[in-house]
Amino acid sequence: MPEDALPVAEVLDMLSSALAGRGLAVLSAPPGAGKTTLVPLHLLQSGAAGNGRIILLEPRRLAASAAAFRMASLLGEEPGGTVGYRMRLDTRVSARTRIEVVTEGVFARMALDDPELAGVSTVIFDEFHERSLDADFGLALALDIRSGLREDLKLLVMSATLDVGRIASLLGDAPVIESAGRAYPVDIRHRPRTPQGRIEDDVVAAILDMLKVEAGSILAFLPGQAEIRRTAERLEHRIGSDVTLAPLYGNLTRAEQDAAIAPTQPGRRKVVLSTAIAETSITIDGVTIVIDSGLQRLPVFEPATGITRLETVKVSRASADQRAGRAGRTAPGIALRLWHEGQTAALAAFTRPEILASDLSGLVLDLAHWGVADPGQLAFLDPPPGPALAEAKRLVGALGALDDDGRLTPTGERMRGLSLPPRLAAMVIHAAAAGTARDAAMLAVLLSEQGLGGNGADLSERLRRFRHERSPRADAARGLADRIAKAAGEAGRSNTATDAGALLIHAFPDRIAMARGGRGRFLMANGRGAEVPEDDPLAGEPFLVIADLTGQAARGRVLAAAPVSRGTIEAERGDQIETVEECVFDRASLSVRARTVTRLGALVLAEQAGVRPKGERAATALAEGLATHGLSLIDMPKEAAHLIERIGFLHRKLGEPWPNVSPEGLLLSLDRWFTPFQSGVTAISAITAKSLVSGIQALLPYPLAADLDRLAPTHFTAPTGDRLPIRYDGDEPVLAIRVQMLYGLKRHPVIAGGVPLLLELTSPAGRPIQTTRDLTGFWAGSWKDVRADMRGRYPKHLWPEDPANAEATRRAKPRGT
């Protein structure tokens, strides 16, 4: 299709007018509209972008280079002329460049380094619906620059699927321009997956079927590289010789990515196996069939653990639409969705913005450089969540990058200048002082660029391979490492090869890990668990520094780590190692023991038994044992259990200030009722009933203590004068009593200001007769039947016709009556 026939061409003049007016606009254009290439070129050629450079932001390097090559080809040029691009490992720009395609992270750094964006007239945010953290931050910076320094700066936000109302509002009710839909129709079909089947098996079956019955090349979306690899292995010997199999994901070389995108030779077809990288911005020539697994893999940051884990989730409706649109870019196509049609409505409307589920430490560092302590001062579409922001500030502060007032320290300024995540930047800065900055920079680049040096977990081995790896990508990565080392200000090179673990200690001090209980199982200094497969060489190491892991906090799976010696740990983190006397609870003996421990965070490096503890320390350790293992460790004495039941009844019926003495409530208040009454006690077996009763009583505020016996009495005094115990072990108070002992009682007995006792009425032999909450109704009603039965069973006992007016008794009839 000629470029001027693409749908977006119809709204280009409207777009120019909007930008010429207020300098702000939002463009909503579905897949295939041509916005990525036509809009920048039109704004340049029409003069609507002004006299400066146009910066076009793309979410990924592949999309950035593809857009630059396409625009340059339309001008009959190569990238680096009128159109250029700039990304982390590859840059092609010149003095002639007027349109500069950059990745979103590159733009944020451009703005931070030059707050006036000198020479830039227009900034275009493409595919903004992907809502990366860099894009959100970049837009916030651009709006701040426009409002304070550059009123003439033009901003355009473009997307194929976008909540345009929200973004237009963020831009001060900017005009919204909508382009027509895709150029060609797409037939959307559904093929539900096999229950409990592997996703790659279903994708393979769908691909093979489509190759048999449909023409054209196929683009299949899978959640990640592992699934792509397994799918390719299954397809390799099952597709025809005329079909080219091409993976497509971020870690491939530029040549491999180009091979996936390039047109096929005449008479050949292509099957492209891709992650979400192919959702937007790029066109894969010849693709008329899309197979969508309906899954994507997203990073999720957990502030409580400081760990980012990858989570496989269902795509959003917006992403599903984007994927389907790939089939209609160049001709009518087919989109086969591997789920039931009715499930589409249940998908989330949009993918969760990255800012809501990311490690924000880099953002905190950049905000501090911008002079902003509170992100609320900038216009974020979604503000950073509080817990993740607090954890990020704690980490950046611990790395020495922020002072107590939240301002950048000199170390923080140097870290920010390295274009690395804060942890890795801190590692390189520390290494520079020892003359090992290049080693650290090599390791930092290896960690931030996936696939370099292989994919194994052992970073020492990967670093060794990376040093000698021969490929354009590896050469570019080593060049980047050289520039980072130079920027870190390395004073001189050390002649000693640096151990990867020794370097990583300064990036991940909280993830120094020690082997514990079983091969491949480790405990980190932050108290979290981590595991390495038993057959991995790292599994036998006594100490590791873990750079990357995924999974749950208790049993994280190690993705990248390096061995480290105890001597190195002591040399590098000696100021964090402490020797203290501790009282700890021993679960096996149910007692407290003292020990002298040398520890680094949660890691016990050495331990020596001490003298049996006494006093409050022992009581505190016992309480910690109960908090960990539960109150079931105590064989609760009868009198203490009964007291707890009585108070619990009043808490349920009357509420506060009667204390919560449920097991959960007691565990939360151990410092009030347990610890003060167990001074000197060193074992569970030595806890006395008296101390427990006194402790539970201490939970009662003074005015309530006097009301306990009145509102929840231990016993009921029957008309005979007998005192019978009241049970509080259920939902309501219960009194078990011989029915004859209640003769003469005209009202049902109550406690706690009106709560009726549940009467379990028994025969003279103690066998159940009836349960009632209405004694008066029982006398007037079913007593007649009970009396007839009881007179036959117990003829020697009194069974009056009118028990409400009879004399209570616990004896049989006198002899001779």
Where helices occur in 750-796 by DSSP H, the ranges are 775-780, 783-793
Q: How far is CA 37 from the centre of its chain?
A: 36
In a domain, 388, yes or no: no
Strand pairing class (750-751; 768-772): unpaired
Kindly state the tokens that stand for 348: 């989330």
Residues 118 and 264 in one domain: no
* ω into 657 cis (within 30 of 0): yes
Residues 550 and 612 in one domain: no
| Residue 332 CA neighbour count, 13 Å, CB half | 3
What's the pLDDT tens digit per position in 213-230? 999 999 999 998 889 999
pLDDT at 56 exceeding the cut of 90 = yes
Confidence band for 304, pLDDT divided at 50, 70 and 90: low
Dihedral pair phi/psi, residue 420, rounded to 5°: -130, 155
Average pLDDT of the segment spanning 621-642: 93
Q: At 762, is the secondary structure helix, strand, or coil? A: strand
In a domain, 24, yes or no: yes
Contact (Cβ atoms closer than 8 angstroms) between residue 519 and residue 539:
yes
Kindly state the tokens that stand for 620: 């505190």
Residues 319 and 445 in one domain: no
Interior/surface letters 725-760, b for 16+ CB within 10 angstroms, e for the rest: ebbbeeeebbbbbbbbbbbbbeebbebbeebbbbbb
Determine whether 762 is exposed, middle or buried from the number of CB atoms within 10 Å of its CB (0-12, 13-18, 19+): middle
Pick the most confident of 92-101, 296-305, 607-616: 92-101
Residue with tokens 């009581």: 619
Q: At 159, is the secondary structure helix, strand, or coil? A: strand
Look up residue 676 and give its DSSP letter.
Answer: G
CA distance 261 to 751: 81
Average pLDDT of the segment spanning 600-618: 84
Residues 641 and 725 in one domain: no
For the chain, the farthest-separated pair of C-alpha atoms sits apart, in whole angstroms, at 129
- Other CB atoms within a 10 A radius of the CB of residue 405 amount to 6
Dihedral pair phi/psi, residue 555, rounded to 5°: -140, 60
Q: At 718, is the secondary structure helix, strand, or coil? A: coil
What's the pLDDT tens digit per position in 435-494? 899 999 999 999 988 788 888 899 999 999 999 898 888 898 899 999 999 988 865 555
In a domain, 817, yes or no: no
In a domain, 400, yes or no: no
Q: How far is CA 590 from the centre of its chain?
A: 36
In a domain, 811, yes or no: no
In a domain, 374, yes or no: no
Higher pLDDT, 543 or 471: 543
What's the pLDDT tens digit per position in 140-198? 999 999 998 899 999 999 987 667 888 999 999 999 998 876 668 899 999 999 888 89
In a domain, 396, yes or no: no
Residues 488 and 538 in one domain: yes
The helix (run of H) or strand (run of E) holding residue 393 is helix 386-398
CA distance 786 to 784: 6
pLDDT at 67 exceeding the cut of 70 = yes
Look up residue 105 and give its DSSP letter.
Answer: H
pLDDT at 46 exceeding the cut of 50 = yes
Average pLDDT of the segment spanning 632-652: 93
Q: How far is CA 43 from the centre of its chain?
A: 41
Confidence band for 800, pLDDT divided at 50, 70 and 90: very high
Strand pairing class (120-125; 24-28): unpaired
% residues pLDDT > 70 (the chain): 96
pLDDT at 318 exceeding the cut of 90 = no
pLDDT at 293 exceeding the cut of 90 = yes
In a domain, 200, yes or no: yes
Interior/surface letters 534-569, b for 16+ CB within 10 angstroms, e for the rest: eebebbebebbbbbbbebebeebebbbbbbbeeebb
What's the pLDDT tens digit per position in 779-798? 999 999 999 999 989 989 99
Residues 667 and 596 in one domain: yes
Q: Which of residues 706, 731, 762 is at a domain's end?
A: 706
Q: Which of residues 136, 153, 178 is at a domain's end?
A: 178
- Comparing 36-45, 110-119, 609-618, the range with the smallest average pLDDT is 609-618
pLDDT for position 675? 93
Determine whether 4 is exposed, middle or buried from the number of CB atoms within 10 Å of its CB (0-12, 13-18, 19+): exposed
Residues 311 and 337 in one domain: yes
Contact (Cβ atoms closer than 8 angstroms) between residue 203 and residue 231:
yes
Confidence band for 554, pLDDT divided at 50, 70 and 90: low
Could you tell me which of 544, 474, 552, 484 has the C-alpha nearest to residue 513? Answer: 544
* Alpha carbon distances (Å) from 396 to 184, 373, 384, 413, 527: 50, 13, 16, 12, 20
Residues 287 and 335 in one domain: yes
Residue with tokens 């997307």: 159
Residue with tokens 């003069």: 47
Q: Is the whole-model pTM more than 0.75?
A: no
Residues 230 and 172 in one domain: no
β strands within 234-386, DSSP E: 243-248, 269-274, 287-292, 295-302, 307-314, 333-337
Q: Which of residues 355, 384, 400 is at a domain's end?
A: 355
pLDDT at 496 exceeding the cut of 60 = no
pLDDT for position 162? 62
Q: What is the chain's length?
A: 817
Q: What is the mean pLDDT of the chain?
A: 89
Kindly state the tokens that stand for 693: 């009763």
pLDDT for position 1? 44
Residues 260 and 236 in one domain: yes
Count structural domains, the chain. 5
pLDDT for position 94? 95
pLDDT for position 404? 86
Interior/surface letters 618-652, b for 16+ CB within 10 angstroms, e for the rest: bbbbbbbbbeeeeeeebeebeebbbbbbbbbbbbe
CA distance 729 to 732: 8
pLDDT at 817 exceeding the cut of 60 = no
Residues 174 and 208 in one domain: no
Residues 6+ apart with CB under 8 A from 212: none
CA distance 716 to 737: 10
Kindly state the tokens that stand for 518: 């079983």
Q: What is the distance in angstroms between the CA of the first residue and the CA of the last residue of the chain?
A: 116
Dihedral pair phi/psi, residue 324, rounded to 5°: -60, -35
pLDDT for position 508? 93
What is the CATH number for 323? 3.40.50.300
**Domain assignment of residue 85, given as a range:** 3-178
The helix (run of H) or strand (run of E) holding residue 608 is strand 603-609
pLDDT at 344 exceeding the cut of 80 = yes
Contact (Cβ atoms closer than 8 angstroms) between residue 440 and residue 420:
no
pLDDT for position 553? 60
100 bridge partner residues = 55, 84
% residues pLDDT > 90 (the chain): 62
Strand pairing class (734-738; 750-751): unpaired
What's the pLDDT tens digit per position in 657-668? 999 999 999 999
CA distance 683 to 618: 9
CA distance 639 to 688: 11
pLDDT at 310 exceeding the cut of 80 = no
Average pLDDT of the segment spanning 380-391: 91
- Comparing 171-180, 230-239, 279-288, the range with the smallest average pLDDT is 279-288
Residues 473 and 497 in one domain: yes
CA distance 608 to 628: 23
Look up residue 248 and give its DSSP letter.
Answer: E
Confidence band for 623, pLDDT divided at 50, 70 and 90: very high
| Residue 585 CA neighbour count, 13 Å, CB half | 18
